[in-house]
Amino acid sequence: MKQALEKRMNWEDFMKRIIKAGIAAMGVAVMATTALAADWTPPGPIKLMIGFRAGGGADTQARLIAEELEARMGWKFIPEQVTGKGGLNLANALKDQPNDGTAIGMVVTETLGYNMAAANAGMTPENFTGLTTTAGFQMGVVARTDKGWNSFEDMITAAKGGQDIRFGAMSPKLADLAYLLGKAQGVDFNIVNVKGGKGVMNGVNAGDLDVGFMAGIQAKGVEAGDLINLASALSEPLVQTPDAPTFADLGVEYSADGYFVFIGPAGMPDEARDALSKAIVEIVSDESTKAGGLIKKAFGGVSVISGDDLTKLLADDYANAGALMDAASE
Amino acid sequence: MGTLDYIWMGIQAVFQGPELFSLFGLPISVTIVMILAGFLTGIAVGATPGLAGPIAMAIALPILISVFGYTPDALLPVMGFLIGVMKGATIGGAVPAILFNTPGTPDAFMTTLDGYPMTQRGKAKKALRVAHFASASGDTFSDIVLIVCAPFLALLVEAYLDLPEKTALLILSLSFIAAVIGGSPAKGLISTGLGLLAAYVGTGEDFYPRLSMGSPSLSQGFPIATAVLGVLIIGAVLKELEDLWRRKRDSGEIPAHKDEGDQRLHGADIRRLLPYVGRSALIGTAIGALPGIGSTLAATLGYTVGRARYAKKKRPGAPEFGKGASEGIAATEAANSSVSGANLIPVLSLGIPGNAAAVFLILAAESIGGFNPGPSVFRFTTDSVNPELVIAFGLFTAMMVANVLNWTIGGLFMRSMGVMIRVPKHILLPSVLLLTLTAIYVQETRMEAIWFAVGFGVLGYLMRTVAISPLPFVIAFILGGKLEESARQAFAATGGDPWFLFTNPGAALLMAVAFAVIVFSARKTKEVA
């Protein structure tokens, strides 16, 4: 009995030792990676160009990430709004900045995809270094609940009954998608271009628009029952309203899948690229930070793509943009 | 979240904002300090001939933004300072008008008519007290009207105006401004047109940067600060420099007058002045609520109405209007001061600025971000906090704080500002020029911005030499983007109807008024001529 007890104690000691060793090893590994990240410090304050209107959800996300980076890493950020032309103004300004990590920007993948292809402005994704995505869009087709539409079907019925439907879109790509959606459903939407998701939401709330694309900003309103997600503009259902049909269900073979993405000028050294994207990923993945909390609440959670995967994603988006444009101009 | 909760949060945002220091254990928020600093600056600036509130606001804005940064936390301290300057300059302008017969700001011209004769009779201090009392009363009254009216007006606009009507309302505001500011509607329209032209460079929905002629520096358009500061401030400085050069500084002796007798303002005086103050405050507030009509017209109207009443009620032996009647000062100062608060009604409820001070408040909001003046500000959301609404009530609180400062220390500080007349213009003007250019560079940090600003400055100078008011230019520049946006949206929303401005009855009515304003004011100018 006693022997058995001793044996068990030894076994316990043994296990404890192993666990301790494991923890220590993990600690070393963690220290190694932080040491690696700490190897790179920006040679000066980092200019953070934000391609979104001040005060919106995307702008807040960028500023909160910068704030947390300053607190954690001790880097200094200078946020700056460079808006307009679907992010192309930012791309244009960023492309000639020093590529040592002291100038980065936040846009959406659409900027380097559809917009760059449509503008034919002498830029391709190869002029940039992709750092990391932070979140996808929870892109819904949203209406006010008091419109009385309980489903996407109700809206189409109303449109077929002769009601003009004003459809708010905040980018040319989304306008194309809205057009294709109408075409697939046999109705003509009056597609209104609005600046930013906040503009769409204000328009829908004020009654200037009947329905519109919102990329996550609708979360609170949907939760409160003031707004309703009629459809998901993504290839997948929305996290908040999984029952709403996707664009594929509605007969549109394209989707508004896309991400918020941090980019830098082309040819950024690997250590700068890795350090920046790693620091950003850590912050957005941590829901206890303000930035992580916002992403969880407003954008349905983090969605991180970086490194070579991101480079490939950006290149593919650019290459595939033509197909959507052709479809929409048929 | 009820309305009262929002008001309370706005008040807290001012008083419990970031703490600067604590006084006897009581934390003093940075916003309060900034309001005080702005208010004192404003009085000093208003009391300096050649300077005015907008100049101080223009120079301070970029510097403040670089100090406070681009976070929404910066909104209240920065805008609090600007509001302080706006209010201080209004009362400061009366000082040189009364003491030296030189109005510190254009709208204080009518104050010289009765103020200076009072000084000559040895009643300078009393005249200053009358001016301060009238000014502070008018200002406070106007703010109360603003706080009560702006939210309701915004809600009305949001509830009843559709996209075509919103577009027509913008066109109406622009034509109204073109018609009433400056000498003739034709000149006003030229100014407005140039402003729109400048606003449309590099903007628009197409991916190609329009009107940029392939130049990368134009492709982002003109930064708003360069256009506004260039035309308004640099243009004014260039014009003043030219005037100075022509006059070769006829440096006359500054006359000194001794104060004699009782300088206090008694209860009986106040009772006597109140009817004049009340009438003028109403006139000033009504005029201020219409975009574009400045405080100068309000002062003239207030003075005229005051004179008519005085002719009937005058006590025997009292001085005539224009010969040193304190009622004249009261009527003028109450009218021009009550413009400033009411002028923010169209700013906050519609996003349409009516005067230079309002332009700088919008500029501050646009540069910092997180607050977009317009009807969407006053959305009383119940499920979540609308941060813009909190800021709006914070601004109202800031205005009330400035009013309290005005009533308590404003008079004292104002009476000590007589020395500002001695600031020599040939030093003042180049300093303003240098500070303005520095301020623009601080905000834009690229050399093109300076060239743009100088270019707009030359434009502002040329406009002044041919007597075209630069204010419609600036307002059109600010509203240009909004006008295009709402017009495009209205066009799309009506299913591509090119006549959307005329098929919708509300929009058609607004358009008719817009044409009528131009036609009638053109006819009136002809008659005068």
The per-residue pLDDT for B253 is 55
The answer to the question of residue A24 being in a domain is no
pLDDT digits (tens, 9 = 90+) for A173-224: 999 999 999 999 999 999 999 988 888 998 998 889 999 999 888 888 898 8
Q: Chain A: residue nearest B223 by CA?
A: A82
Number of domains in chain A: 2
Question: Does A283 have pLDDT greater than 80?
Answer: yes
Question: Does A36 have pLDDT greater than 60?
Answer: no
Question: Does B529 have pLDDT greater than 70?
Answer: no
Q: Classify residue B173 by its DSSP letter.
A: H
The per-residue pLDDT for A34 is 47
Give the confidence band of B42 by pLDDT, cuts at 50, 70, 90: very high
User: Chains A, B: CB contacts under 8 A, how many?
Assistant: 82
For residues B278 and A135, what is the distance between their CA atoms, to the nearest angstrom? 58
Does residue A128 sit in the same domain as residue A210?
A: no
**Which of B376, B388, B495 has the CB atom closest to A190's CB atom?**
B495
Q: What is the ipTM of this complex?
A: 0.78
**Alpha carbon distances (Å) from B107 to B40, B52, B329, B428, B490:** 19, 11, 12, 21, 39
Note the helical H segments in B161-184.
Answer: 163-180
The per-residue pLDDT for A1 is 47
Is residue B508 within 8 A of residue B501, CB to CB? The reply is yes
The per-residue pLDDT for A31 is 47
For residues B351 and B414, what is the distance between their CA atoms, to the nearest angstrom? 32
The per-residue pLDDT for A22 is 57
Q: Average pLDDT, stretch B133-143?
A: 94
Taking the CB of residue A264, how many other CB atoms lie within 10 A of it? Answer: 26
Give the residue among A112, A111, A189, A179 at the shortest CA–CA distance from A326.
Answer: A179
The answer to the question of residue A241 being in a domain is no
Is residue B389 within 8 A of residue B6, CB to CB? The reply is yes
The answer to the question of residue A243 being in a domain is no
The per-residue pLDDT for B261 is 78
For A309-313, B213-217, B245-249, which range has the lowest pLDDT when averaged over its residues? Answer: B245-249
Is residue A140 within 8 A of residue A238, CB to CB? The reply is yes
Q: Classify residue A215 by its DSSP letter.
A: S
For residues A214 and A169, what is the distance between their CA atoms, to the nearest angstrom? 8
Give the residue among B305, B245, B307 at the shortest CA–CA distance from B281.
Answer: B305
The answer to the question of residue A240 being in a domain is no
pLDDT digits (tens, 9 = 90+) for B56-87: 998 898 888 888 877 778 899 999 999 999 99
Does residue A149 sit in the same domain as residue A211?
A: yes
The per-residue pLDDT for B255 is 64
The per-residue pLDDT for B28 is 84
Give the residue among A68, A250, A76, A85 at the shortest CA–CA distance from B209.
Answer: A85
The answer to the question of residue A201 being in a domain is yes
The per-residue pLDDT for A32 is 46
**Alpha carbon distances (Å) from B335 to A168, A275, B136, B301:** 45, 61, 11, 8
Is residue A62 within 8 A of residue A54, CB to CB? The reply is no
Q: Is A143 exposed, middle or buried (0-12, 13-18, 19+ CB in 10 A)?
A: buried
Note the helical H segments in A113-226.
Answer: 116-119, 152-160, 172-185, 196-206, 219-224
Note down the domain range covering A220.
Answer: 140-232
State the CATH number of the domain containing residue A60.
Answer: 3.40.190.150
* Domain boundaries along the sequence of chain B: 3-248+265-528
The per-residue pLDDT for A112 is 94
Does residue A65 sit in the same domain as residue A116?
A: yes
Give the confidence band of A248 by pLDDT, cuts at 50, 70, 90: very high
The per-residue pLDDT for A35 is 45
Give the residue among A185, A171, A165, A320 at the shortest CA–CA distance from A245.
Answer: A185
End-to-end, the C-alpha distance of chain A in Å comes to: 86
Give the residue among B311, B301, B265 at the shortest CA–CA distance from B281.
Answer: B301
Residues above pLDDT 70, as percent of chain B = 96
Is residue A193 within 8 A of residue A169, CB to CB? The reply is yes
Q: In A, what residues contact B, Cβ < 8 A?
A: 53-55, 59, 63, 79-82, 84-86, 88-89, 92-93, 115, 118-121, 164, 166, 172, 188, 190-195, 202-203, 205-209, 220-221, 223-224, 226
Is residue B436 within 8 A of residue B233, CB to CB? The reply is yes
The answer to the question of residue A58 being in a domain is yes
Residues 6+ apart with CB under 8 A from B281: B137, B138, B141, B142, B334, B335, B338
The answer to the question of residue A157 being in a domain is yes
The per-residue pLDDT for B396 is 95
pLDDT digits (tens, 9 = 90+) for B457-499: 999 999 999 999 898 999 999 999 989 999 999 999 999 999 9
Q: In B, what residues contact A, Cβ < 8 A?
A: 70-72, 158-159, 162-163, 166, 203, 205, 207-209, 216, 219-221, 366, 368-372, 375-376, 379, 383-384, 388, 485, 488-489, 492-496
Is residue A234 within 8 A of residue A247, CB to CB? The reply is yes
Does residue A117 sit in the same domain as residue A83?
A: yes
In the predicted model, what is the mean pLDDT of chain B? 87
Give the residue among A166, A297, A294 at the shortest CA–CA distance from A240.
Answer: A297
Is residue B232 within 8 A of residue B474, CB to CB? The reply is yes
Does residue A162 sit in the same domain as residue A204?
A: yes
In the predicted model, what is the mean pLDDT of chain A? 87
For A13-17, B328-332, B395-399, B511-515, which range has the lowest pLDDT when averaged over its residues? Answer: A13-17
Q: Which two tokens stand for residue B310?
A: 């005085």
Q: Average pLDDT, stretch B391-401?
A: 94
Does residue A130 sit in the same domain as residue A150?
A: no
Residues above pLDDT 90, as percent of chain B = 42
Q: Chain A: residue nearest B382 by CA?
A: A224
CB contact under 8 Å between B220 and A82, yes or no, is: yes
Q: Average pLDDT, stretch A302-324?
A: 92
pTM score, whole prediction: 0.83
Question: Does B8 have pLDDT greater than 70?
Answer: yes
Does residue A218 sit in the same domain as residue A300?
A: no
Residue owning tokens 């009506």: B494
CB contact under 8 Å between B370 and A55, yes or no, is: yes
Question: Does A5 have pLDDT greater than 70?
Answer: no
Give the residue among B523, B525, B490, B498 at the shortest CA–CA distance from B170.
Answer: B490
The per-residue pLDDT for B369 is 75
SS3 call for B393:
helix
The answer to the question of residue A4 being in a domain is no
For A22-26, A30-34, A259-263, which range has the lowest pLDDT when averaged over its residues? Answer: A30-34
Residue owning tokens 């009476």: B415
pLDDT digits (tens, 9 = 90+) for A115-140: 999 888 789 999 999 999 999 989 99
